[in-house]
Chains A and B, each alone.
Chain A
């Protein structure tokens, strides 16, 4: 059997795993079935291209399944950025569930107004929630991390924004400025921490990774990690307060990092 056939067989053998993990990434960002199919096809092509270059690069320093998971994670990120810019669902929206993610996606990725998004979700039968409940959800989502998507062609962008939307944009803009200030301080604090502590802080508060998952991914004991994060959080908050960022502001701006 030729080497190419070996790699082809290897890929076929791991296809169920690959599809399962790819679906996990799609589900995490609540992609709809068409978007999920789109990513699946794209990822399969990337795995095959250049005569299975992804598999050829593998040197056996980790489990192949772990390696493939990282590869797919990067592919998913690249795919998402190429399609929709830097937008991704906030951890807070993920925490609140499908309705929140769908709402956030329509408004911040697809650029519908909030009223249009609410109407769309209800008219498509994608939610059982009332208008009032959907507005309440939207208001509970953090403004600071709402990425500004790269427009992808014609679409609802052309729709004129309402006065309320304009006000919201202004508020968002203020929030973004404040968040940017927090992030600068955060970067400085993290820079002064040992590398492992810095990674823990960023995984926990920027990526919204659970303590259990941080422990698993960095091969750390879970119970002492809670205390460690507690100490890091106190230090972070004290430095932020010294910069004039109140605890309340901190909580609001980082609400999306809650699990």
Chain B
């Protein structure tokens, strides 16, 4: 069968080519700059797409049947990559407490989904040392709200009732200072005193809290920073390789004057000695300093 160059590369990416074909293609990629560029760019784009799909709760398991009809090839072999992705996504879906309603997860759920499922918990001392801010909602409160929403989400997944109650009570207090008439406050207060009802966090709760904030970008920044602190504490390298983390570390989506340059410098670079581990302590320190600075 005479496959196009593009389809051969696509088969390599999907893991559907034979061993002999794979060796042949790898040998080409090892010497051909143009093919390598096309392959690497496609791999990066697909990878980004997959992460976004998984974060949004979409599991693309197969090509729609219409494709097979149109091309006259009614066969489909599930590539190894997609099988493992489907399994991982399935586990993630279970862990997301049914958040996939309406095909979307809340911002905090998407952020927490970037954390490794293994050893997911709130490390000791992760709670922000915050002083109550009175008056109108500030940027700092939006950032704090994001961090607290992550605390609650992670605590709920880890079934850590003490942390659930602590985070929920702090969210309720923060929202009350912002707008005492918000209905969602009562639900957080209830969790703050009795824990999560029926062991299931209502996915709409976080969405409503996020919507209550006047600075949604700042809420999401707080969510990412707190999740990043947790990831640094657990040495979760995957979190920092995810698309949003790469963007943040590169300055994208960061407020003017706020830089993660020193945190980025704590990450390893390929030219450095021994593909070193990230400097987790520095990373955690920088992220904590930044979050503390932004949330006050």
Contacts and interface: CB of A to CB of B under 8 A. Distances in A.
A36 interface: no
B79 A62 contact: yes
A69 B10 contact: yes
A61 B10 contact: yes
B contacts with A: majority SS: helix
B66 A10 contact: yes
A71 interface: yes
B27 to A, nearest CB: 4
Q: How large is the interface on B (under 10, 10 to 19, 20 to 34, 35 or more residues)?
A: 35 or more
A235 interface: no
A97 B259 CA distance: 11
26 contacts: A13-B64, A28-B41, A59-B7, A59-B71, A65-B60, A69-B13, A70-B7, A70-B13, A70-B39, A71-B6, A74-B5, A94-B250, A97-B250, A191-B31, A193-B30, A195-B26, A198-B26, A202-B29, A202-B36, A203-B43, A205-B271, A226-B275, A229-B275, A233-B275, A254-B270, A257-B270
B43 to A, nearest CB: 3
A44 B29 CA distance: 27
Given A77-B34, A230-B274, A258-B269, A28 B44 contact: yes
Interface string A186-201: 0100110101101100
A195 B23 CA distance: 7
B270 A20 contact: no
Interface of A: 6-7, 9-10, 13, 20-21, 24-25, 28, 55, 57-67, 69-74, 76-77, 94-99, 128, 187, 190-191, 193, 195-196, 198-199, 202-207, 209-214, 216-219, 222, 226-227, 229-230, 233-234, 250-251, 254-255, 257-259
Contacts, number: 214
Interface of B: 1, 3-17, 23, 26-27, 29-31, 33-34, 36-50, 60, 62-64, 66-71, 73, 75-76, 79-82, 238, 241, 246, 250-252, 256-257, 269-272, 274-275
Given A10-B70, A199-B26, A63 B41 contact: no
B14 A66 contact: yes
A24 B17 contact: no
A13 B69 CA distance: 13
B39 A59 contact: no
Contact of B27 (A7, A61, A74, A195): A195
Contacts of B7: 57-59, 61-62, 67, 70
Given A59-B7, A69-B49, A213-B40, 16 more contacts: A6-B70, A58-B71, A60-B73, A61-B7, A62-B79, A64-B63, A65-B60, A65-B63, A66-B14, A191-B30, A195-B26, A198-B26, A203-B43, A209-B40, A212-B241, A217-B46
Nearest to A187: B31
Contact of A70 (B23, B42, B69): B42
Contacts of B256: 128
A182 B79 CA distance: 37
Contacts of A195: 23, 26-27, 29-30
Contacts of A207: 36-37, 40-41
A217 B43 contact: yes
A121 to B, nearest CB: 15
Contacts of B82: 63
Given A6-B70, A195-B27, A257 B271 contact: yes
B44 A213 contact: yes
A258 B271 contact: yes
Nearest to A212: B241
Contact of A98 (B69, B73, B252): B252
Contacts of A254: 270-271
B42 A73 contact: yes
Contacts of B80: 219
